[in-house]
Amino acid sequence: MSFGKFLLKRSLQGLVVIWGVVTVLFGLRAITPGDPVNLIVDPAVDQATRDRIREELGLDQPIYVQYVDYLQDLLVGDLGYSYQSSRPVTTMVLERVPATLELAVAATVIALVIAIPLGVISGTRRNEPADYGATSFSLVGISTPNFWLGIMLILLLAVQIDIFPTGRRPVAFHDALWTFLTTFYVGDLLTWLHHIILPAVTLGTYFTALITRLTRSGMLDEYGKPYVTATEAKGIPGVLIRYKHVLRNTMIPIITVLGLQFGTLLGGAVVTETVFSWPGLGLRLIDGINNLDWPLIQGIIIFIGISYVVINIAVDAIYAKLNPRVIDE
Amino acid sequence: MISDRIKSNLSREFRESLLAKVGLVLLVAILIMGLFAPVLATHNPHTTGYFDDDGNAYPPMGVSYDSHQWVDGERVTYTAEPSADHYLGTNNIGQDVFSRLLFGARTSLMVGVFGTGLAVLIGVPFGLVSGYYGGRVDDAMMRVADIMLAFPSLVLALALIGVMGSLTIPIPDPFVFAGVADGMPASTPLPGTVTLVVGLVTWVWFARVARGEAMSIRNEEYVKAARSLGANDREILLKHVLPNSLTPVIVLATIQVAAIILLESSLSYLGFSGTTLSWGYEIQQGQDYLRTAWWVSTVPGIGIVLSVISINLLGDWLRDSLDPNIEGEGGGAG
């Protein structure tokens, strides 16, 4: 199979998954007890108005007609209107994406910057104090709920020693960057950084722990292979072997796991955003669920599902480029 | 099933592994805490209000905990500090933090074990059928699994709770009925919706593991032999494939209990628990009072971390000794 065919096949499978996600959400909305009309207007309103709203929402149609309408709307990017605020859901989702993206990227960067050196040290100095330190850290990091970690960070670094804010996002990264590029004023960027550090550490700790573990075990596996002995015999310095050859081979499974764990990252973002009042998709999802605002819930979860599928196709594509044997498996 | 070789492997690894012992001791301690909560607790976990050393009642007469009172811009609370009467202090409405820690262990362990049990009951048959039959059946069933995986477990759990609402099942307390736990609640609420939901969002990991096992077992000589002796698919699945795929399922189930405890705590932190006797709920309650009462949020969090660590240590030990190559959510935080 060629790479193009492989990509096409994976994309088609991805489409099936997205269709499944969309259908599951339609089903969940349909079986939710209660009349959505009551969520839009006062339950005491007269029957004529209720019927009119019902008709506008298409709720008077048979369920399969509603389903087809829903799919047609989705194809053109129309996620409907929020019950609570009557705003278009597509806008409500998109305007919250930057905040969540900032958080997810910052958390991933923190995780990679800390975890990879830690994993390399741990894997190359097996059973030395540094290794014990790194493995204990990763055990605790994997076992700590991120919302509690966030609250403990607030307690220590925002309440006891007042060096970080307890939450909120006073300025968006793209705005701060724009200000900097146009006026060379760096203050907004610093404010942004000051506010994102605690949430990003909170969200990133689990991944730091996970990647440390993976890097360590990957290094241990790779070190047993003959090519390492061969490069050592050629007199190539240890640092170069560790970081250039061994680490590169270890990175392949790490990238795959990062793709698969992307969902966990977004799930973690929901909780982290709640702890720090970070105005992203997660905080809006919680609002939606508290109000049973199904168009909003649907819209956010569809967005998350599609991102997950797209990221995993991209990861598979990178993987196939790095290791063409997988294409034929 | 579990052979003698595996048994000797388990015991050798256990003798050698200090961490496994630490994990076991911790877990037994937490199990005792949860199981005997009505006996060990010093106060009814629902009782609000307390007395100070001079016998003065808090909150004072006529003051309610529910009405949030503000004096000079500060929220007034009657939170007691840790003392001889309240080992770990009280929370913002004067409930005993120590007693709530014990009952919280009960909730976490119950949801962890029942939720995992449900996930096994759905996931293992699904995976075995998919892997055993292979071909188109497998393709279709694995697409279903892919769809499940495209939802982050926490997000799907939230959506399902939105559909089902919060259901609680009261579980009678044996100690109260035996008359040894005076003044304790007569039953522990099991958050029914949450238990159901955590099983429904995590079964797919068991399906994947069981499928992998079934795929390799179906081509074994003894399965071929059984088939040529006239055994039908159902008999083969139940008598041969199921027993021989249990080892990795047991390892995964151990780790999943930890993952589900974390998931339950996240859900109750976000306000979707169905019971107030939950560590996550308690942490959420304490978040507003970090300045005046740090212990309210801190104590239950330590409970979560220690339970999850102990289960993960035991899971690592099982995995190392049985050494199946399995993947799973691990102790997925959040």
Tokens of A102: 């900032």
User: Which among A20, A152, A267 has CB closest to B153?
Assistant: A267
Do B162 and A292 lie within an 8 Å CB cutoff? yes
Confidence of residue B334 (pLDDT cuts 50, 70, 90): very low
- pLDDT < 70: residue spans in chain A: 326, 328-329
Size of interface A-B (CB pairs under 8 A): 165
Are the beta carbons of B278 and B104 closer than 8 angstroms?
A: yes
Q: Looking at CA atoms only, how far is residue B284 from chain A in angstroms?
A: 9
Going from the N-terminus, what domains does chain B have, and what CATH number goes with each? 4-50+88-326 (1.10.3720.10), 54-84 (no CATH)
Q: In a mutagenesis test of the A interface, which of B148, B266, B278, B285 is the best target, namely the one with the most A β-carbons within 10 Å?
A: B266
Tell me the CA distances in angstroms from A108 to A21, A78, A153, A199, one per residue in order: 26, 31, 18, 12
Residue in A98, A78, A100 with CA at minimum distance from that of residue A90: A78
- Cβ contact, residue pair A266, B155, below 8 Å: yes
Question: Which residues in chain B have Cβ-Cβ distances shorter than 8 Å to A159?
Answer: 290-291, 294
Interface of B with A in 55-74 (CB under 8 A): none
What are the residues whose beta carbons fall under 8 Å from the beta carbon of B177, sequence distance 6 or more?
A: B186
Q: Do B258 and A17 touch (CB under 8 A)?
A: no
Q: Which two tokens stand for residue B302?
A: 């330590």
Tokens representing B192 are 């029914």
Residues of A in contact with B160 (CB under 8 A): 28
Domains of chain A, residue spans: 97-279
A97-279: CATH topology is MetI-like fold (1.10.3720)
Strand pairing category for B69-71 and B74-76: antiparallel
> What is the pTM for the complete model shown?
0.90
Tens digit of each residue's pLDDT (9 = 90 or more) over B107-139: 999 999 999 999 999 999 999 999 999 889 999
Decide if B312 contacts B23 (C-beta within 8 A). yes
Chain A residues closer than 8 Å to B308 by CB: 143-145
What pLDDT, on a 0 to 100 scale, did the predictor assign at position A325? Answer: 73
| Tokens found for residue B207 | 């399906």
Helices A247-260, A187-223: axis angle to 10 degrees equals 120
Chain B residues whose CB is inside 8 A of the A271 CB are 154, 266, 269-270, 334
Query: Can you give the pLDDT at residue B24?
Result: 93
Distance separating alpha carbons of residues B34 and B97, to the nearest angstrom: 14
Check B161 against A289: CB less than 8 A apart.
yes
Q: Shortest CB distance from A139 goes to which of B283, B312, B329? A: B312
Restricting to B residues 293-332, those with a Cβ less than 8 Å away from any Cβ of A are 294, 297-298, 301, 304-305, 308-309, 312-313, 329-332
| ipTM of the complex in this document | 0.90
Question: pLDDT band at B83, cuts 50/70/90?
Answer: confident
Residue B168 has pLDDT above 90, yes or no: no
State the nearest Cα–Cα gap between A148 and chain B, in angstroms. Answer: 6
Are A210 and A138 within 8 A, CB to CB?
A: yes
Taking the C-alpha atoms of residue B296 and residue B303, their distance in angstroms, rounded to an integer, is 12
DSSP for A276-299, please give it.
HT--SHHHHHHHHHHTT-HHHHHH
Task: State residue B85's pLDDT score.
Answer: 81
Residue B1: the pLDDT is 52
Once rounded to an integer, what is the mean pLDDT over residues B264-278? 91
B331 contacts in chain A (CB < 8 Å): 142-143
Percentages helix, strand, coil for chain A (3-state, rounded to 5) are 80, 0, 20
B73 has a pLDDT exceeding 60: no
CB spacing of A17 vs B143 below 8 angstroms = yes
Give the residue carrying structure tokens 């799919």. Answer: A71
Nearest to residue B327, comparing CAs of B251, B246, B245, B243? B251
How far, in Å, are A26, A88, B186 from residue A50 at the CA level?
22, 21, 46
* Cβ partners under 8 Å of residue A327, min gap 6: A1, A2, A3, A6, A320
B106 pLDDT above the threshold of 80: yes
Q: Do A143 and B308 touch (CB under 8 A)?
A: yes
A159/B290 touch (CB, cutoff 8 Å), yes or no: yes
- Contact between B208 and B127 under an 8 Å Cβ cutoff? The reply is yes
Cβ pair A267:B258 closer than 8 A: no
Q: What is the pLDDT of residue B122?
A: 96
Q: List the single residue in A145, A205, A271 with the smallest CB-CB distance to B304.
A: A145
Residues near B51 by beta carbon (within 8 Å), at least 6 away in sequence: B57, B58, B85
Residues B143, A264: C-beta atoms closer than 8 Å:
no
pLDDT of residue B125: 95
Chain B: nearest CA to A327, how far in angstroms? 17
CA distance, residue B332 to nearest chain A CA (Å): 7
For B18-70, what is each residue's pLDDT tens digit?
A: 888 899 999 999 999 999 999 898 888 888 777 766 666 666 655 655 545 56
Cβ distance B329 to A264 less than 8 Å, yes or no, reads yes
Question: Which residues, 6+ apart, have CB-to-CB distance to B8 below 8 Å?
Answer: none
Tokens representing A204 are 């990133």
How far apart are the C-alpha atoms of A109 and A200, rounded to whole Å? 9
| pLDDT score of B93 | 80
Q: How far apart are CA B214 and CA A114, in angstroms?
A: 39
Length of chain B: 334
pLDDT for the residue numbered A329: 58
pLDDT value, residue B326: 46
Q: Token pair of B172, please? A: 């009678």
Q: Tell me phi and psi for residue A88, to 5 degrees.
A: -65, 130
Pairwise CA distance, residues B17 & B317, whole Å = 8
Q: What Å distances lie between residue B223 and A261, B209, B241, B324, CA to CA?
A: 36, 19, 8, 21
Whether the bond into B59 is cis, omega within 30 of 0 = yes
pLDDT band at B328 (very low <50, low <70, confident <90, very high): very low
**B151 lies within 8 A of chain A by CB:** yes
Tokens encoding A300: 């956010």
Calculate the average pLDDT of chain B. 85
